[in-house]
A and B are shown apart, each in its own frame.
Chain A
Amino acid sequence: MELTTIWFIAIAVLFTGYFILEGFDFGVGMLLPVLGREERERRAMINTIGPVWDGNEVWVITAGGAMFAAFPHWYASLFSGFYLLFFLILLGLIVRGVGFEYRGKGDTERWRRGWDLCLIIGSAVPAFLWGAVVANLVRGVPLDPNHDYTGSVWGLLNGYALLGGLTTLLLFATHGAYFLHLRTTGDLSARARRTGLRLGAATAAPALAFLVWTQAAHGNAASLVLIAVAVLALLAGLALDYRGRGGWAFAATALTIAAASAALFCALWPDVLPSTGDPANGLTAQNAAATDKTLGIMTWAAAVFLPLILLYQGWTYWVFRQRVAVERIPVA
Chain B
Amino acid sequence: MDVLDLARIQFGVTTVYHFLFVPVTIGLSLVVAILQTMWRTTGKSAYLRATKFWGKLFLINIAMGVVTGIVQEFQFGMNWSAYSRFVGDVFGAPLAFEALVAFFLESTFIGVWIFGWDRLRPGLHLACIWLVAFGTMASAYFILAANAFMQNPVGYQLNETAGRAELTDFGAVLGNPVVLAAFPHTVFAAWLTAGTVVVAVSGYHFMHRRDLDVHRPAMRLGVLTTLVGGLGLILSGDSLGKVMTATQPMKMAAAEALYQTTSGAPFSVLTVGSLDGRHGTPIIEIPGLLSFLATGSFSGRVQGINDLDAQYVDRFGPGDYVPYIPLTYWSFRAMIGFGLLAMAMAVVVWWCTRRGRLPEHRLFWPVVMWTAVTPFLANSSGWIFTEMGRQPWVVFSLYQTSEAVSPRVGAATVTASLIGFTLVYLVLAVVALKLFFKFAKAGPPGEELAMSTSSPSDDPDKPMAFAY
Tell me the chain A residues, 211-237 only, with Cβ under 8 Å from chain B: none
Interface class of chain B by DSSP: helix
With A84-B416, A298-B93 as contacts: A55 and B108 at CB distance below 8 Å: yes
- Per-residue CB proximity of A298-332 to B under 8 Å, as 1/0? 10011001100100110010011010100111110
**Residue pair A102, B435 in contact (C-beta under 8 Å):** yes
Chain A residues positioned under 8 Å from B108 (CB to CB) = 54-55, 58, 309, 312-313, 316
Number of contacting residues on B, CB 8 A?
Answer: 78
B119 vs chain A, min Cβ distance (A)? 5
Instruction: For the complex, count residues of A whose C-beta is within 8 A of B.
Output: 78
Could you tell me if B96 and A58 are in contact, using CB atoms closer than 8 angstroms? no
- Complex CA gap A153/B443 in Å reads 49
| Contact partners of A312 in chain B: CB under 8 A | 105, 108-109
Q: What are 20 A-B pairs at a CB distance below 8 A?
A: A54-B110, A55-B104, A57-B70, A60-B70, A65-B95, A67-B92, A68-B95, A72-B92, A78-B77, A79-B77, A79-B78, A83-B409, A87-B417, A90-B74, A93-B70, A94-B68, A102-B63, A149-B408, A150-B408, A316-B112
* Nearest CB of B to A154, in Å: 12
User: Residue B91 at the A interface, CB < 8 A?
Assistant: yes
B359 within 8 A of A: no
A279 CB within 8 Å of chain B: no
**Given contacts A51-B116, A101-B59, A148-B81, are A294 and B409 in contact (CB under 8 A)?**
no
B367 within 8 A of A: no
Q: Are A297's CB and B164's CB within 8 A?
A: no
* Residues of chain A lying within 8 A (CB to CB) of residue B110: 54
- If A146-B407, A305-B104 are given as contacts, then 4 extra A-B residue pairs at C-beta distance below 8 Å, sorted by A number, are A62-B103, A75-B88, A102-B60, A305-B101
Secondary structure of the A contact surface, majority rule: helix
How far does the alpha carbon of A98 sit from the alpha carbon of B417 in the complex, in Å?
A: 19
Report how far A101 CA is from B417 CA in the complex, Å.
24
What 0/1 pattern do residues 280 to 295 of A give for CB contact below 8 A with B? 0000000000110110
> What are the residues of chain B within 8 A of A100 when measuring CB–CB?
63, 468
Question: Whole-angstrom distance between the alpha carbons of A57 and B89 in the complex?
Answer: 24
Stretch in B258-266, B344-352, B455-463 touching the partner: B455-463
Contact A57 B107 (CB under 8 A): yes
Question: Bound complex: CA of A292 vs CA of B299, how far in Å?
Answer: 48
Complex CA gap A259/B347 in Å reads: 61
> Which residues between 73 and 109 of chain A lie within 8 Å of chain B, taking CB atoms?
73, 75-81, 83-84, 86-87, 90-91, 93-95, 97-98, 100-106
Interface segment out of the listed A42-50, A157-165, A195-203:
A42-50
- CA–CA, A144 to B81, complex, Å? 14
Q: Is there contact, CB below 8 Å, between A319 and B428?
A: no
- Which residues of B line the A interface, CB within 8 A? 59-60, 63-64, 66-71, 73-74, 76-79, 81-82, 84-85, 87-93, 95-101, 103-105, 107-112, 114-116, 119-120, 164, 166-168, 170, 406-409, 413, 416-417, 420-421, 424, 428, 431-432, 435, 438-439, 460-468
Q: Which residues of B contact A319 (CB under 8 A)?
A: 112, 116, 119-120
Q: Which residues of A contact B (CB under 8 A)?
A: 43, 46-47, 50-55, 57-58, 60-62, 64-73, 75-81, 83-84, 86-87, 90-91, 93-95, 97-98, 100-106, 144, 146, 148-150, 153, 290-291, 293-294, 297-298, 301-302, 305-306, 309, 312-313, 316, 319-320, 322, 324, 327-331
In the complex, A53 Cα to B468 Cα: how many Å? 12
Question: Across the interface, do A68 and B103 meet the contact criterion of CB distance under 8 Å?
Answer: no
- The residue on B at minimum CB distance from A289 is B89
Cβ A98 vs Cβ B63 within 8 A: yes
Is the pair B70, A54 in contact by a Cβ cutoff of 8 Å? no
> Which residue of the partner chain, among B78, B82, B92, B112, contacts A86 with CB atoms under 8 Å?
B78
CA gap between A144 and B406 in the complex, in Å? 13
B residues less than 8 Å from A58 (CB atoms): 99, 103-104, 107-108
Contacts of B77 in A (CB 8 A): 64, 68, 75-76, 78-80, 86
How far apart sit A43 and B97, CA to CA, in the bound complex (Å)?
35
- Determine if B96 and A301 form an interchain contact, defined as CB atoms under 8 angstroms apart: yes
A330 partner residues in chain B, CB cutoff 8 A: 463-467
Which chain A residue shows the least CB distance to B464? A328
- Asked if B93 contacts A309 (CB within 8 A), the reply is no
CB atoms of B408 and A52 under 8 A apart: no
- Given A46-B468, A148-B407, does the pair A298, B96 have CB atoms closer than 8 Å? yes
